[in-house]
Structures are given as C-alpha cells and as structure tokens.
A = this chain, B = another copy of it.
Amino acid sequence: MAEKTLKERIIDTALRLFEQYGYHGVTVDRIVTESDASKGGFYHNFKSKDELLYHIHDVFITYVLNKAQDAYKNYHTPTERLCAIVQSFVKVFHLYKPHITVFYQESTYLRPEYSQKINEKRDEFKRVIFQVIREGIEAGEFRPELSVEITGMSIIGMVNWTYKWYKPNGPMTIEQIATHFIDFILHSVLTEEAKQKVENISFFLASKQMI
C-alpha cells in the first residue's frame, strides 16, 4: 500500500481537529504542526483554509448522494428503496463521522461560492428521498395521509442526528442502529396492507441482503 500523501495527512489531521475543536478553534499552524507538514506544503495543496473546509464538505455529500442514487437504481419498490437509502445513509456514519460533524457544524462558515455547490448536491439528495416517499404513497405502500416533506425531513433528521451521539466503538454496531431506524420508519410509513406483506421487518431486510 502506498504511503499517505501529504494532502491526505493534512485532511486527516484537519478532520480530527475540526471535529473536536471546530473550524475556528483550529489554526492553520496547528494543522500543519500536527500533520508534520509545513505551511508551504499546506498552501501548495490548498488555496486557503476555506478550500480545505469545502473539500471536506464535498467528499461527504458526494459520497452520500451517490449512495442514495445507487440505492434508488438497484431496488425497484418504494419500500425497498427507502430501506436501502436509509441503510447506506446510516452506514456512512461509520466511515465519515468526522466529515459529517464538520458538515453540519461548520457549513455556515463556507464561503458563498462553495456553499452554493454543496447545497445543490444536498438538495439533490433530499429530492431523491422525497421522490421515494411520493412514489411509495402513489403505489399504495405508504400511508396516504403522510406529508412528503415532513416525513422526508423526519427521516433525514433522525438519521443525521446520529452524528451527535454515535460512538464508533460504542455498544451498538452501525448495522444494529440502521436496523432500528428502518424498523422505526417502516412502522410509521407503511400502510396496514404493506405491513402484512413485509411481515417481519428484520426478516425482510435479511431476505433483501441488506443486513
């Protein structure tokens, strides 16, 4: 395996420090020191501290958006799609927890030119979720009295909040957490008929090879 490049080392260090102390709680000098780099090396790889922040945002949102779009493509009923999206969404927290923390804590400090790009991808992600819920209602799988927006934001909020409490080495694995979320969500959105079909939710997930 190739050694880590300087750029990667800087990003790793910055991520760790930003997560703990916040973007403004960390100086460029400190990032440089703790990643065994130099100021020259830093500014060779990044135009500015702002650009580094943008880069962190972009890596995460790009990943999660792609995962959602893949999940949409690879499954073909609203219920399966919703499960798959939530599943992959939750799993991201294992890999990208520092990214996510920075994403939700520091996005106010993104400069306009950067935040615009990020917001486009974020909105696209929301659109996919809303779409699935809308199709679920139309297909009769989800309860017709649901509000697409509030249901969508409830799901997004519930999952996103994980970044505030999830501990990678805690008592719950990320898969267990995902299963609980999906259980919670399916009980809320499915119609009685659809619930009959799914029957046992854990079994349903297993049969779809999601867990």
Q: When chains A and B are docked, how far (Å) is the Cα of A105 from the Cα of B105?
A: 5
**Are A161 and B172 in contact, CB atoms less than 8 angstroms apart?**
no
- CB closest chain-B residue, reference A109: B22
Segment touching B, from A1-9, A45-53, A148-156? A148-156
Chain A, interface size category, equals 20 to 34
Residues in chain B near residue A130, CB distance under 8 A: none
Instruction: Please report which residues of chain A, range 92-119, place their CB below 8 angstroms from some CB of chain B when the two chains form the complex.
Output: 105, 108-109
Chain A interface, >50% SS class: helix
Give the oligomeric copy count. Answer: 2
- CB closest chain-B residue, reference A152: B165
Q: When chains A and B are docked, how far (Å) is the Cα of A172 from the Cα of B30?
A: 45
Q: When chains A and B are docked, how far (Å) is the Cα of A181 from the Cα of B152?
A: 11
Residue A77, interface by CB 8 Å: no
Residues in chain B near residue A164, CB distance under 8 A: 157
Contact of A161 among B25, B161, B177 (CB under 8 A): B161
14 contacts between A and B (CB under 8 A): A22-B108, A24-B109, A25-B109, A105-B105, A150-B172, A150-B184, A153-B161, A153-B165, A154-B181, A155-B158, A157-B157, A157-B161, A161-B161, A188-B188
| A residues at B contact (CB < 8 Å) | 21-25, 105, 108-109, 143, 145, 147, 150-151, 153-162, 164-165, 172, 177, 180-181, 183-185, 187-188
